[in-house]
Structure 1
Amino acid sequence: MTLVKFNSDRKNNGSFLPGINDVFDSIFNDTFFNDRMATRVPAANISESEDHYHVELAAPGLKKEDFKISLDRNMLNISVEQQHENKDAQKNYSKREFSYNSFVRSFTLPDSANYENIEASYNDGVLSIDIAKREEAKMVRRQIEIK
C-alpha cells in the first residue's frame, strides 16, 4: 500500500483530474525520494574567456588541503576525501545536505588547453581553476574592412 499526501488547501484550477497534481507533487517532493535523487557532488560552472578556460566548483565547508587536483592526459580530476570529525558524531542531524565525505569530478579538457599552465585557488567555498589556452587557440578578433 502506498500512502499519498494530498494538499487540500490548493485549488486544482483547470485540472482534468482533480487531485492528480497532488499525487505527482507527493512523489517528487517527498524527502525520501529527493534525498536519493540528489547528487552528492558539488555543482560546477564552466566558462571561457579570450585566453583561459575557467572551472568553478561550489564546495563550501572544505579547506584547500581537502582537494586533490590531477591531470591524466586530457582529463582534469578533482577529488575530495574527508574523514568525519568527532564533533559531527555528537550532533543529531534531522537533515544534512551539504556534507561531502568524498567525491570526484572529472572534466575532459579540449586540445586547445595548455596543460602546462593550470592554476587553482579556493576562496569563500568556491574552488576556481584557470586553464590557459594555447597561443594558436586564443580568439582572434579584428575588424574586417569592406572594399
Structure 2
Amino acid sequence: MLVWMQTVTDRSQSDVDRMLELLQKGWDNFNVYEKTEWLAGMKGALNRSDMQRIQNNTKLLSDVLELNLTVADVPEHPNETFLISVINNTEVIRNAYMIHGDTPHTPSMPVNTYQKMNDIEKILDDVYGILLNNFNYYCGSEIYAGDDTGLLL
C-alpha cells in the first residue's frame, strides 16, 4: 500500500551553494555534523531519495486517478530516459485533475535546476492536496457501525 510522502518544494540557491561547498571540501574533510547533513539528503542535490519520493507519489496519484501510468523503479543512476518518464508522468497528472492558478507548468528537459525539481513536486503536491480536500464519503441516509448498532449521529 502506498502512502503519500511529504514533498520538497522549497529548494533554493543557498541549498545548492551549501551542497557545492561541501562537495569541494570532500568527504574525508567533513566533520561529524557535515557528514550527518550530507547523508540526510541535501536539498541542493538530486538525491535517490528525492526520485523515490517522486515516483512513490506519482504511483499513488496514478492509482487514485486511475491513470495507469508506468512508474519505473529509480535506477542507480537516473538517466535521460528515466527523467523523461518523470516529466511525462507529471504532465499527465497535472492535466488529469484540478490544479491551482499558481500551479507551475510542467518543466521541460533537462531536469537540471532546483526550480525544475521544485516544480515537479509542487505539481504533484497541488493535485494531491486538491484531491484530498475534495474526497467525500457518500453513504446514503444512515451510517452503521456494526450489525447490532443503529444510526450514529
Give the TM-score taking structure 2 as reference length. Answer: 0.30
* TM-score when normalising by structure 1: 0.31
Point out the structure with the larger helix share: 2
Question: Computing the radius of gyration over CA atoms, which structure comes out larger, 1 or 2?
Answer: 1
